[in-house]
Every structure is written in C-alpha cells, then in structure tokens.
Amino acid sequence: MSDTNIIDLLRQRLPSECVLSEAEDLRPYECDGLSAYRRLPMVVVIPQTLEQVQTTLKLCAQKAVAVVARGAGTGLSGGALPLSDGVLLSMARFNRILEIDTANRCARVQPGVTNLSISKAAAPHGLYYAPDPSSQIACSIGGNVAENAGGVHCLKYGLTVHNIQKIEVLTIDGEHLTIGSQALDSPGYDLLALMTGSEGLLGVITEITVKLLPLPETAQVVLAAFTSVEAAGAAVTATIAGGIIPAGLELLDNPAIRAVEQFVHAGYPEDAAAILLCELDGTDADVATQIERVSAVFRAAGATELRVSRDEQERQRFWAGRKAAFPAMGRLSPDYYCMDGTIPRKHLARVLAEIDRLSTEYGLPICNVFHAGDGNLHPLILYDANQPGELERTEELGGKILELCVAVGGTITGEHGVGLEKINQMCVQFNTEELTQLHAVKHAFDPQGLLNPGKAIPTLHRCAEFGAMHVHRGQLPHPELERF
C-alpha cells in the first residue's frame, strides 16, 4: 500500500528532476564511503528548497516510509546506506555559503557545503573552520554535524560539537526547529550537543552556523623517528605531561611508513619502527617555544632522528605522507578496512601488542596510522574481498579490535560513527537500560522511528542475537556468530 505510492506522491508534489527512481539513477546512492555495504534505495529525492525537504518528510511521515539523509556520501560507517523500501534524501543541492559574519566570527552555511570550502571562504578574513576530517575536500558540513566529525587537529581545537553554534532542523513531521544560537549558549537543554553525532536519527539538518577561528600566525611540524612504537607512545605522553597541547600529533608504524614512502616519497625514515608528526601552531613566538620543548622531550624519549619543517612547503610534505596513508594501503592490498576505536592513551602499548597478536591469528596484515594525541586508533586491515571468506574474517577481526578498545575503557568509534558497521559492537559498549534510554531519546524526536532506522543504536533484539547482552562491560565476548 503505502510503499508503492510514495514515489507517485513525491512525483506529484516535487519537480521531476528532484525524484529519481530508475535503477541506473539510483546506483550512485547505493553506498557511502564504506563500500563493502551496498543497497539500492527505493527512491532518491534531491530537493532544492526547504519547502521540498519539508514536503518530502511530511509525505514520508504520513505514509510511514523511512528516510535516510545523505550529504556527500563520504562517511565510513555505512550511516548513509539506503533502505530498499525507503527514501534516500540527498542534501547535495544545499551547497551555498549564506553568510560570513566576521565581527562575530561565524559562518552560516547550507548542509551540502564541503568542509574545506568554508575555510577557503573564511581565509580572506583571516579565519578558518577548525575541524578537518581527512575527507575535507569532499565531505559535507551537514554530514560532519551528523557524525560529529573530527580530524587531525581535534586535540587542540575539538570536534564538530565544539565548533558549531546553531543548526536549523526539520523533524520527520516537517516541523522546523532552531537549535542553538549565535550566542555562546541557549536556554533549555543542550539539544545542539544531542543532535551533533546523532547520525540522521533525530532530524534533518537544513542549515548550520559554524564557529570560525583566527588563522594561526605560524604552523610547523616536528617529525621524529623512534625505534619502537612504545617509545613513540611514551614521547606523546611526555609531551602532554610537559604542558604542551600540539595542534596535531599523529603516529605511523613501520608498515604504514613503508607503504607511504613507496607511494608519495614524503621523506619518512623507512627503518623507523614508528614516527610521530607533531604540529605546533600559534604566534611565531609560541611556536618557537613549543618546538624547542617538544624537540627536547622527543630526544629524551629516545628519538633517533628529529626534523623540523623549515617552510610551508616542507610542512605540507611531512603531512602529505600522513594524508596519503589510506590510498597508499590501497596500492599494497586489493582492499583495506579502516577501524576507528579510541582508547585511553596509557593503554597504547598493550592495545597495539594485542592488535598485532590478532593480526597474526587471523593472518591479515594491519598497519597503524592514528591520532596519537587523543588515543584515536585507525588500524587498517589489509584484505582481498575476492578471496572467499576474507571480508567476513576481516569484519570479525575488526570487531575484536573494537571490543578490545571497550575493554580498556575506550570506545568503538572516535569519529567515524556507528552507522551500520559497528552496530553489533554497540551491544558491547552499552547495556540494555542504556540502549533503552537511547531509543527513548529517539522516540522523543521521531515517534514512528522513520529517520535512518536500523543505524547507530541497535535494537535489543539485535543485541540478543549478537549474543553480547550477557557480557559484562569490560570483558571480551567471544561470539562465533556471523555478522550479516
């Protein structure tokens, strides 16, 4: 009944170019950045106006049809994976920067604007938007808010939630809400925090006001090589103990260094067990002070080689390797799978050793490239999807790594979101009462459960099937269950 005529209803109410339902037109929307999961939506709606978004949502609410909102489709957790009986709502045409308010240092933008274009538009005013996920050239700010995206500079400048001020939202009933304000706080509950990272389950974001920061006077990178990952980890701890919060602090292990060097020739020492890239920014005077101190800390921690970027070109070259890490893996292996757990840094050595052990056990190589400053790991599992069973083994190994992160007091996702990918591990991180409370929060926004159903928060039924509900938090479950 309802499912069959929603397409007709959408066609009646929206311009024809806004509604796609032919299989070949749906194909580009079958997956997001996690391409292992693919599914064609029933219909794609690409609205051009707020009224069209509202019309679409109202129709879906009336007909009880599910809606998956999509930004640029660069997400890494399957959050924008369509539903075969649902509407895929693309916000791609909301791609305008509406206002740059230099006096109050903020920008009002539409959700389809790319992350990087905000900083580009703000640059002539000496300002920028701080969160910089590695996909910033392509990812949309709407998606960044939905995922609470991070990036290399989170350690000092925070995540998306710390860098937005206001959002305009449509509920599934098409009701308009303004959440937050251009002031530094708003009356009532902090719904801005609740909406940020809610993965499209609570509302559809139609406009965002982001905070802009002054561009730092200078930024320089210190590159340090170490003879063990542990020594590099200890250097990170010592840096922070010394009262320095670098703008970015990244670690690459030896397999990652070698892969990157073959690919982009960033000049990394290929014999190092690990390197740290430590970016320091601020005024010229502050950067000079920090470089001196960080260099001393790294030397004391056993750095075998220290290089400080001498100019902007060299700084970019140091970063080029880090930024090319993922594509470099693509050359080493037919497929790779990127994990996203976060751990308290003090457990770094133990967790890396266990990851290494799991890698051997599963016979799948793992490279480690990660945000060392805030303990956000990105182990990359190399595999070949054409080998029967290898994807499944990879997913199982990935699941084990995430459960390990939870066991040491960390989390299954630092910045990529739960989406569909990590939904089973949510059962490890949260108990029945907590999941019930999260569902109750969703119900307060979306009583029919039509916004991105099946993502981010698992049903209790799913957790029971996954077999993790009985596992006490902090202990590793060993379910030999298939995922999907």
Partner 1 sequence: MSLVESFRDTLRAAHAKGTPLSIRGGGSKSFYGRPATGSEFSVAEYTGIIDYSPTELVISAHAGTPLSELEAALANENQMLPFEPPHFGPGATLGGTIACGFSGPRRPYAGAARDHVLGITCLNGRGEALRFGGQVMKNVAGYDISRTLTGSLGTLAVMLDITIKVLPRPETERTLSREMTSEQALQLLNRWAGQPLPLSAGCYFDGRLMVRLSGFEQGVRAAAEQLGGDEPDAAGGFWEDLREHRLPFFQDDRPLWRLSVPPAAALPALEGEELIDWGGAQRWLRTEQPATTLREATAGAGGHATRFRGGDRDDVFHPLDPALKALHQRLKASFDPAGILNPGRMYSEF
What lies within 8 Å, CB to CB, of 167 at 6+ separation is: 145, 178, 179, 180, 192, 195, 205, 207, 208, 209
Q: Does 197 bind partner 1 (CB under 8 A)?
A: yes
Q: Using CB under 8 A as the criterion, what x/- string covers residues 425-444 for binding partner 1?
A: -x--xx--xx--xx-xx-xx
Instruction: Report, in Å, the least distance between residue 331 CB and partner 1.
Output: 28
Instruction: Report, in Å, the least distance between residue 372 CB and partner 1.
Output: 12
Q: Is 14 exposed, middle or buried (0-12, 13-18, 19+ CB in 10 A)?
A: buried
Which of positions 442-471 make contact with partner 1 (CB under 8 A)? 443-445, 456-457
Is the CB of 87 or the CB of 161 nearer to partner 1? 161
- Do the beta carbons of residue 404 and residue 351 sit within 8 Å? yes
Which of positions 243-282 make contact with partner 1 (CB under 8 A)? 243-245, 282
Q: Does 484 bind partner 1 (CB under 8 A)?
A: no
Which of positions 166-185 make contact with partner 1 (CB under 8 A)? 175-179, 181-185
Q: Which of 2, 104, 316, 475 binds partner 1 (CB under 8 A)?
A: 104
Q: Which of 413, 463, 466, 471 binds partner 1 (CB under 8 A)?
A: 413
Which of positions 317-346 make contact with partner 1 (CB under 8 A)? 342-346
Which of positions 83-102 make contact with partner 1 (CB under 8 A)? 101-102
Q: Which of 86, 174, 410, 454 binds partner 1 (CB under 8 A)?
A: 410
- Do the beta carbons of residue 33 and residue 419 sit within 8 Å? no
Is the CB of 188 or the CB of 388 nearer to partner 1? 188
Q: Using CB under 8 A as the criterion, what x/- string covers residues 124-153 for binding partner 1?
A: -xxx-------------------xx-x---
DSSP 356-374: HHHHHHHT--EEEEEEGGG
The two tokens of residue 101 are: 């308010």
Instruction: Report, in Å, the least distance between residue 403 CB and partner 1.
Output: 12
The backbone torsions φ and ψ at residue 133, rounded to the nearest 5 degrees and listed phi first, read: -55, 155
- DSSP class of residue 275 equals E
Is the CB of 178 or the CB of 262 nearer to partner 1? 178
Among the residue ranges 47-55, 60-68, 103-111, 361-369, the one whose residues contact partner 1 (CB under 8 A): 103-111
Is the CB of 331 or the CB of 346 nearer to partner 1? 346
Strands (E), 263-378: 274-282, 305-308, 335-338, 366-371
- DSSP class of residue 114 equals B
Q: Using CB under 8 A as the criterion, what x/- string covers residues 348-387 for binding partner 1?
A: -----------------------x--xxx-----------
Q: Which residues pair with 248 in a beta bridge?
A: 279
- For residue 304, give the nearest of 271, 264, 334, 337 by alpha carbon: 271
Q: Is 283 exposed, middle or buried (0-12, 13-18, 19+ CB in 10 A)?
A: exposed
CA distance 65 to 208: 26
Interface size with partner 1, residues (CB under 8 A)? 93
